Structure 1
Amino acid sequence: MWGKIGTNHLTQFADVENTLADVQDRQVVPRIWQKDYSVWKDDPFEIGDRLGWLDLTNTMLPQVADLKDFANQIKDLGYTHVVLLAMGGSSLAPEVIRQTFGNAPGYPELIVLDSTLPKRILEVANQVDLAHTLFLLSSKSGSSIESLSLYQHFRRKVDILLGSTTAGKNFVAITDLGTPLARLAQDQGFRNVFFAQSDVGGRYSALSHFGLVPAALIGVDLEKLLLRATSMRATCSPAVHISENPGATLGGIIGSLALKGRDKLTLLTSPSIVRFGLWAEQLIAESTGKDGKGIVPVIGEPLLEVESFGRDRVFVYLRVEDDSNLELDAFIQEIQSSGQPVLRLDLADVYDVGAEFFRWEMATAIAGSVMGIHPFNQPDVQATKDTTDGLLAQYQISGRLEEVEASNSLDELLSQATTGDYLVILAYVHENPEIERALAAIRKRVTKEYKIATCLGYGPRYLHSTGQLHKGGANTGLFLEITESVDHDLPVPGQIYSFGVLSNAQARGDLKALQTSGRRTAKLTKEQVLALNIG
């Protein structure tokens, strides 16, 4: 269905063919299927119990009927919206599914709420009829401060509206067995709890309950989605030579090129699957960004002249047949003609995202082996959590948040840019067309003038996505944090701090953690960004 990834033009790039041959000679693919942790490290810690994603299509297909029955029950009860309260691996695959498929006729609309910004929370609350909204609280650990705070906020509102004895029926949980969320769901009378496989890490969980329950609720054809993934799984099997293995080939190429300095994986997609990049971004960044190494996923970057792109790039184009591809087709042709490495992945239709979920999981695992990286842990994520917790603890004592100093000049930050660097915009602002245009203009200017890649992450979403890479990867990032004032704050029930304080603590905590890791930083307000008036 997908065919081979064309590699002929990649022979000019050092070591690609040698790397693929080495992956084949070391029997990396068969060993992964045997769940041999030594493919990556000598210690099985956080590897041996993280390989359940290999078998998810087999374990989830028999559950499709039950998931469809539950979804139809919710539809028949007249729910108009499903609001997913989740972060990171629990929210990004559902966001891909929401954007790609939308809701089938008669099924509720899915809204993904992965923000602590009061403006975004108010926006979602104003979009829905609370009495006819199902809140899906999704967390592998069951202890995410964002998701639990959002739950307390909406639970209080639904309690007032429907009464505390019946309000629980508007809530469903997805989590692992034995988590704080599992206990909360039982104690607070949730309609249902879906228990996910504990041997599947969050960013590898797209084809588990974390991705499929939201998909079922909006009427996606789960069987069709999983069968596409099953077909990809078969072509990534141990019996398939690496030259014909779409996951292993992709992983070997991007891992090999990253080791040779082409570590900016620039991902382009057809419009119908444009949010796929958000999911792939987390998978790649959090899996490979550690030990001073990593692959930097670049998504949503403006299309520019070929001379704007440095020699630290590899371009990957996910092309959906019969989509609006004319502009991207022409751009990719120019990029390849300029001598940049380009990989094109063809999708027959949008249901092939099921196949792509598996392909990219396998590719990331292979790239980790090639690069000598443990792709299933996230050792540096805790730094920001600890710093944020410290700031919140101080706030509860003093009533104020500690300021974190940084340069207030974008030009000063960019003056430090050298070949192979990249700019990261960390935006703790409400997403809207005005700020999106301003940030796109900054990215365009920086890429054209400095020939470096640019990335954009909205906080606190990126903390659970690219945050690991920012602190644990190579020290080649330039980090610009953007914040905005809180006009209408919201309390977090049961806490001294508000959502505005929480989001500010997360922004400052991450800035402090970046500085502690020796990263180059600057900070601006939204008003200062808009005043730049770039392009």
Structure 2
Amino acid sequence: MTVPSFTAVVSGNTTVTARGPVRDAAERMLGRLWIDQVPVRLASEDPALWPSAATAADDGRALCWPGQPGFSRAILPQIGELRAKARAEGLTELALLGRGAPARAAGLIVRNSAAARPLTLLESAEPGPVVRTGADHERLRQTMVVVTGDDAATETLRRVFVRMFQDLDLSPAQIARRFVTVAEPGGPAAKRADEAGHPLIEAPGRTPFGALSPYALVPAALAGTDVARLLDHATTVLPALTRPENNPGLVLGAILGGAARAGRTTVVLGDYPASLPGLADWVAVLLAEATGGRMLPLVQHGGQPVVPSDDVFLVTLDGRPRQDDATVTAPPSAQLVVWEYAAAVAAQLLGMDPLAPLPGAPAPHDPPAGSAPSPSPAEESMASAVLTEGEPGQAVEVHTHDPVLAGATDLAGLFDALAERVGADGHLAIVAHLDPDRARGQGTQVRRLGALLAARCARPVTISWGHRYPAIGNDRRERGVYLVLTGNVVHDVPVPDRHYRLSRLQLAQALSEARAARSGGCPVVRLHLQNRWAGLARLLESARGEA
């Protein structure tokens, strides 16, 4: 009798498979999860599951739990009214000011909705996308802005859009109708919306589990997505998530958490089909946030080599069950529910609180009026340069306090030193404070650099834009080597009522994140590009060994 090479769990149109050591690790976890009644406790939103849930319950606050559509269904009439008003005003373009898994989920939903208009997602203080939006006055006049974040960058971007609308000679009432804020009642964003007269949609406290929450569905609906239909389809999956058998979310969570507990903490997300573009990118952010950095998600977009290792496993979307460590096949709405549920289960197995703020998350504050982000980026930039390569105006500046990295005499030597610091069991985290657009920004070049460095290091290389996702080891200490990319800006945007521009806030945030990673014990090097295009070309040449 032939023993199957993989095990499959099927529920409706959703199938999860696993094979080899990953399957074995998952099977060891499933009994424990059911004994602990995790499926029932998740479905009932048991506050005793995690400290953050217990604290919120004591305070009378609601939080976003995985795969729960109830709150969004209750506000469908309010969403419909806003959408009708937007259409009557001729507002056909949408900008989303927010970050994290819920914002990525909104982008994923809109991208895969045939009826929806494109959504411009602004997750950081990078000036490029804002400049492009403001340059097209007709498009700007037709733009509606949804605010879902409460950090300094989001509030700064909100003020920038207010000023751009004012420059179009729109009245205060017209400007107010172009904003919608989604926020927890009584929070900073809700208070600012009330003061500005912007429509407010109240939502539970934001967590990584926001794919079916107002944080994702309000912008998706305003972009044209039929969110009521999406919720109907998502709801059909929920009964399977309370069962002891054929529970795809529980099994996928056991796969993820079991593999990580067995030492396979790097999950490579392979996205074979083009049927749901953007899914792997959302899953990566979801897992990083929900597990508090205990799992290191790596999206394999093609062209980025991943060397097999005992701490790496592969999960593919609509993949090959007989070859890949694990596969997940499901309709779009089911993917949203099953992955959120699985991320919560994995966090539980890893002893993490997925409802707690992510380590390294930006604080919801803004510099006082009349002040600039501190410390001064120019002062710190000039003080910490250890190497400059290239002609003035097009050079690459190297900033680091790490003695091994500071010993490099050129960029090629720096990349060799980076590989040495990563070692045989580490990873390299590229944090790009640049323009992520692949056609008009630096998205394509940074991804090429990541692929070259992955081949050079023979270890995982992750790429994030505008903020870092700390990776946490079993000892609860941060791990990894950081390569932070910053660059001069040609077209900048002044921040209203502040004596600085977006680029200064962006650089200040990059410097703050670099210091935080360094204080956590991680080697950090920052490469500042005096000219972004020339600097990246030089980096690519050095990474290829052509310099």
Normalised TM-score (structure 1)? 0.83
**How far apart are residue 138 of structure 1 and its match?**
1.9
Question: Paired residue for 1:122?
Answer: 131
**How far apart are residue 43 of structure 1 and its match?**
8.9
Asked if the contact 1:14/1:260 (under 8 Å) is kept, the reply is no
Seen in structure 2, the aligned counterparts of structure 1 residues 135 and 472 have a Cα distance that, compared at 3 Å, is: farther
Do residues 159 (structure 1) and 166 (structure 2) align? yes
Give the residue type in structure 2 aligned to 1:277.
A
Question: Paired residue for 1:499?
Answer: 502
Q: Provide the C-alpha distance between the structure 2 equivalents of 1:401 and 1:470, rounded to a whole number of angstroms.
A: 34
**How far apart are residue 489 of structure 1 and its match?**
2.2
Seen in structure 2, the aligned counterparts of structure 1 residues 379 and 11 have a Cα distance that, compared at 3 Å, is: closer
Question: Paired residue for 2:297?
Answer: 297
Do residues 255 (structure 1) and 288 (structure 2) align? no
Question: Paired residue for 2:71?
Answer: 59
| Matches for 1:90-489 after TM superposition, within 5 Å | 90-101=102-113, 103-104=115-116, 108-127=117-136, 129-139=139-149, 143-160=150-167, 161-190=169-198, 192-198=199-205, 201-237=206-242, 240-241=243-244, 243-269=245-271, 270-289=273-292, 294-303=294-303, 308-319=307-318, 332=320, 337=323, 342-347=325-330, 352-378=331-357, 380-381=359-360, 385=363, 400-403=378-381, 405-406=399-400, 407=405, 409-431=414-436, 432-433=438-439, 435-459=442-466, 462-463=467-468, 466-467=469-470, 475-489=478-492
Seen in structure 2, the aligned counterparts of structure 1 residues 208 and 512 have a Cα distance that, compared at 3 Å, is: same
Corresponding residue SS for 1:253: helix
Q: Deviations over 1:3-50 (max 9, x none)?
A: 44223x235765331111221222222233343344456993358756
Segment drifting more, 209-218 vs 443-452: 443-452
Asked if the contact 1:289/1:473 (under 8 Å) is kept, the reply is no
- What's the Cα RMSD here? 3.2
Question: Paired residue for 2:87?
Answer: 75
Q: Provide the C-alpha distance between the structure 2 equivalents of 1:296 and 1:114, rounded to a whole number of angstroms.
A: 21
Corresponding residue SS for 2:134: helix
Asked if the contact 2:17/2:328 (under 8 Å) is kept, the reply is no
Give the residue type in structure 1 aligned to 2:30.
L
Asked if the contact 1:309/1:447 (under 8 Å) is kept, the reply is no
Seen in structure 2, the aligned counterparts of structure 1 residues 421 and 389 have a Cα distance that, compared at 3 Å, is: farther
**How far apart are residue 228 of structure 1 and its match?**
2.1
Do residues 32 (structure 1) and 42 (structure 2) align? yes
Asked if the contact 1:176/1:196 (under 8 Å) is kept, the reply is yes
Asked if the contact 2:241/2:250 (under 8 Å) is kept, the reply is yes
Q: Provide the C-alpha distance between the structure 1 equivalents of 2:197 and 2:351, rounded to a whole number of angstroms.
A: 46
Asked if the contact 2:131/2:492 (under 8 Å) is kept, the reply is no
Q: Provide the C-alpha distance between the structure 2 equivalents of 1:454 and 1:301, rounded to a whole number of angstroms.
A: 12
Asked if the contact 1:50/1:376 (under 8 Å) is kept, the reply is no
Do residues 21 (structure 1) and 55 (structure 2) align? no
Give the residue type in structure 2 aligned to 1:74.
A
Q: Provide the C-alpha distance between the structure 2 equivalents of 1:153 and 1:317, rounded to a whole number of angstroms.
A: 40
Seen in structure 2, the aligned counterparts of structure 1 residues 502 and 467 have a Cα distance that, compared at 3 Å, is: farther
Q: Provide the C-alpha distance between the structure 1 equivalents of 2:146 and 2:51, rounded to a whole number of angstroms.
A: 36
**How far apart are residue 117 of structure 1 and its match?**
1.6
Seen in structure 2, the aligned counterparts of structure 1 residues 424 and 302 have a Cα distance that, compared at 3 Å, is: farther
Corresponding residue SS for 2:154: helix
Corresponding residue SS for 1:182: helix
Asked if the contact 1:262/1:312 (under 8 Å) is kept, the reply is yes
Give the residue type in structure 2 aligned to 1:178.
G
Q: Provide the C-alpha distance between the structure 1 equivalents of 2:473 and 2:365, rounded to a whole number of angstroms.
A: 15
**How far apart are residue 508 of structure 1 and its match?**
0.7
Seen in structure 2, the aligned counterparts of structure 1 residues 387 and 42 have a Cα distance that, compared at 3 Å, is: closer
**How far apart are residue 194 of structure 1 and its match?**
0.9
Question: Paired residue for 2:55?
Answer: 45
Asked if the contact 2:470/2:478 (under 8 Å) is kept, the reply is no
Segment drifting more, 226-235 vs 468-477: 468-477
Q: Which runs of 5+ in 2 are unaligned?
A: 1-11, 385-398, 406-410
Question: Paired residue for 1:6?
Answer: 17
**How far apart are residue 451 of structure 1 and its match?**
2.9
Q: Deviations over 1:188-212 (max 9, x none)?
A: 232x2111124xx332122111111
**How far apart are residue 494 of structure 1 and its match?**
1.4
Q: Deviations over 1:485-527 (max 9, x none)?
A: 1222221111222211100001111011100000122222344
Question: Paired residue for 2:393?
Answer: none
**How far apart are residue 169 of structure 1 and its match?**
1.8
Q: Provide the C-alpha distance between the structure 2 equivalents of 1:211 and 1:523, rounded to a whole number of angstroms.
A: 33
Runs of 4+ in 1 over 6 A off after TM superposition: 386-390, 396-399
Give the residue type in structure 2 aligned to 1:296.
L
Asked if the contact 2:287/2:297 (under 8 Å) is kept, the reply is yes
> How many aligned residue pairs are there?
492
**How far apart are residue 245 of structure 1 and its match?**
0.7
Normalised TM-score (structure 2)? 0.81
Seen in structure 2, the aligned counterparts of structure 1 residues 188 and 45 have a Cα distance that, compared at 3 Å, is: closer
Q: Provide the C-alpha distance between the structure 1 equivalents of 2:274 and 2:443, rounded to a whole number of angstroms.
A: 17
